[in-house]
Amino acid sequence: MTRSLPVLLFATGVYGQFTFPDCANGPLKNVTICDPSASPLARAKSLVALYTLEEKINATSSGAPGVPRLGVPPYQWWSEGLHGIAGPYTNFSDNGEWSYSTSFPQPILMGAAFDDDLITEVAKVISTEARAFNNANRTGLDFWTPNINPFRDPRWGRGQETPGEDAYHLSSYVQALVHGLQGESTDPYKRVVATCKHFAGYDVEDWNGNLRYQNDVQITQQELVEYYLAPFQACVQANVGAFMCSYNAVNGVPPCADPYLLQTILREHWGWTNEEQWVTGDCDAVQNVYLPHQWSSTRAGAAADSLVAGTDVTCGTYMQEHLPTAFQQKLLNETSLDQALIRQYSSLVRLGYFDAPESQPYRQLGFDAVATNASQALARRAATEGIVLLKNDGTLPLSLDSSMTVGLFGDWANATDQLLGNYAGVATYLHSPLYALNQTGVKINYAGGNPGGQGDPTTNRWSTLYGAYSTSDVLIYVGGIDNSVEEEGHDRGYLTWTGAQLDVIGQLADTGKPVIVVVTGGGQIDSSPLVNNPNISAIMWAGYPGQDGGSAIIDIISGKTAPAGRLPQTQYPANYTAAVNMMDMNLRPGENNPGRTYKWYNGSATFEFGYGMHYTNFSAAITTQMQQNYSISSLASGCNSTGGFLERCPFASVDVQVHNTGNVTSDYVTLGYMAGSFGPAPYPKKSLVSYKRLHGIAGGATSTATLNLTLASLARVDEHGNKVLYPGDYSLQIDNNALASINFTLTGEQAMLDMWPQPPANRSSAGVKGIGNYWYGGYGSGYASLPASEQMAM
Query: 490-531 pLDDT, tens per residue?
Result: 999 999 999 899 999 999 999 999 999 999 999 999 999 999
E strands in 315-459: 388-392, 405-409, 443-446
Q: Mark whether 475 and 592 lie in a shared domain.
A: yes
pLDDT at 674 over 50: yes
Mean pLDDT (the chain, rounded): 93
Binning pLDDT at 50, 70 and 90, where does residue 7 land? very low
- The CATH number of the domain holding residue 696 is 2.60.40.10
CA–CA distances in Å: residue 639 to residues 678, 711, 754, 755, 791: 21, 9, 13, 17, 58
Cα–Cα distance measured from residue 73 to residue 29, given in angstroms and rounded to the nearest whole number: 14
Query: Domain boundary at 600, 633, 652, which?
Result: 600
Q: How many domains are there within the chain?
A: 3
For 415-429, 504-518, 599-613, 637-651, which range has the lowest pLDDT when averaged over its residues? 637-651
pLDDT at 73 over 50: yes
Q: Mark whether 662 and 575 lie in a shared domain.
A: no
pLDDT at 452 over 90: no
User: CB of 783 within 8 A of CB of 775?
Assistant: yes
Q: Is residue 315 part of a domain?
A: yes
User: CB of 396 within 8 A of CB of 127?
Assistant: no
Q: Mark whether 217 and 319 lie in a shared domain.
A: yes
Q: Mark whether 361 and 390 lie in a shared domain.
A: no
pLDDT at 775 over 50: no
Q: What is the pLDDT of residue 639?
A: 84
Q: Is cis: bond before 292, omega within 30 of 0?
A: yes
Query: Domain boundary at 566, 600, 634, which?
Result: 600
Q: Mark whether 383 and 362 lie in a shared domain.
A: no
- In the chain, pLDDT over 90 holds for what percent of residues? 88
pLDDT at 620 over 60: yes
- For the stretch 97-109, pLDDT in tens is 999 999 999 999 9
Q: Mark whether 434 and 476 lie in a shared domain.
A: yes
Cα–Cα distance measured from residue 111 to residue 113, given in angstroms and rounded to the nearest whole number: 5
Cα–Cα distance measured from residue 338 to residue 585, given in angstroms and rounded to the nearest whole number: 37
Q: Mark whether 355 and 398 lie in a shared domain.
A: no
Residue 385, Cβ density class (10 Å: 0-12 exposed, 13-18 middle, ≥19 buried) = buried
Q: Is residue 463 part of a domain?
A: yes
Q: Mark whether 674 and 732 lie in a shared domain.
A: yes
Q: Mark whether 285 and 396 lie in a shared domain.
A: no
E strands in 595-715: 618-622, 629-631, 650-660, 666-675, 687-697, 702-710
Neighbours of 719 (CB within 10 A): 10
Q: What is the pLDDT of residue 460?
A: 55
Secondary structure tally for the chain: helices H, strands E? 23, 28
Cα–Cα distance measured from residue 699 to residue 282, given in angstroms and rounded to the nearest whole number: 50
Q: What does pTM read for this prediction?
A: 0.94
Binning pLDDT at 50, 70 and 90, where does residue 718 land? very high
Q: Mark whether 432 and 557 lie in a shared domain.
A: yes
Q: What is the pLDDT of residue 466?
A: 79
Q: Is residue 9 part of a domain?
A: no
Q: What is the pLDDT of residue 643?
A: 66
Say whether 132 sits in a helix, a strand or coil.
helix
Angle between helix 373-386 and 116-135 (nearest 10): 140
For 640, half-sphere exposure in the C-beta direction (CA atoms, 13 angstrom radius) is 0
Torsion sign over Cα 143, 147, 277, 58: positive
pLDDT at 769 over 80: no
Q: Which domain range does residue 359 map to?
A: 74-330+351-369
User: CB of 582 within 8 A of CB of 210?
Assistant: yes
- For the stretch 168-208, pLDDT in tens is 999 999 999 999 999 998 999 999 999 999 999 999 999 99
Q: Is residue 43 part of a domain?
A: no
Q: Mark whether 590 and 628 lie in a shared domain.
A: no
pLDDT at 4 over 60: no
Q: Which of 282, 411, 482, 754 is catalytic?
A: 282
Our answer to whether residue 368 is catalytic in this structure is no
**Beta strands at 216-217 and 249-250: parallel, antiparallel or unpaired:** parallel
Angle between helix 462-469 and 501-509 (nearest 10): 40
pLDDT at 556 over 90: yes
Q: Mark whether 432 and 574 lie in a shared domain.
A: yes
pLDDT at 456 over 60: no
Q: What is the pLDDT of residue 448?
A: 63
Q: Is residue 424 part of a domain?
A: yes
For 3-12, 223-232, 360-369, 586-595, which range has the lowest pLDDT when averaged over its residues? 3-12
Cα–Cα distance measured from residue 501 to residue 481, given in angstroms and rounded to the nearest whole number: 10
Cα–Cα distance measured from residue 585 to residue 589, given in angstroms and rounded to the nearest whole number: 11
Q: What is the pLDDT of residue 592?
A: 84
Cα–Cα distance measured from residue 322 to residue 374, given in angstroms and rounded to the nearest whole number: 48
* Beta-bridge partner residues of 543: 520
Please indicate whether residue 450 or residue 466 has the higher confidence score (pLDDT): 466
pLDDT at 749 over 70: yes
Q: What is the pLDDT of residue 364?
A: 98
Binning pLDDT at 50, 70 and 90, where does residue 461 land? low
Read off the pLDDT of each residue in 23-39 and give the average, rounded to a whole number.
Answer: 98
Q: Is residue 528 part of a domain?
A: yes
pLDDT at 6 over 60: no
pLDDT at 298 over 70: yes
Q: What is the pLDDT of residue 793?
A: 34
Binning pLDDT at 50, 70 and 90, where does residue 8 land? very low
pLDDT at 445 over 50: yes
- The CATH number of the domain holding residue 254 is 3.20.20.300
Provide Rg for the chain, Cα atoms: 27
Please indicate whether residue 265 or residue 591 has the higher confidence score (pLDDT): 265
Q: Is residue 263 part of a domain?
A: yes
CA–CA distances in Å: residue 487 to residues 4, 414, 418: 12, 21, 12
- The CATH number of the domain holding residue 573 is 3.40.50.1700
CA angle 9, 14, 15 (to 5 degrees): 70
Query: Domain boundary at 548, 571, 600, which?
Result: 600
Give the H/E segment covering residue 55: helix 53-58
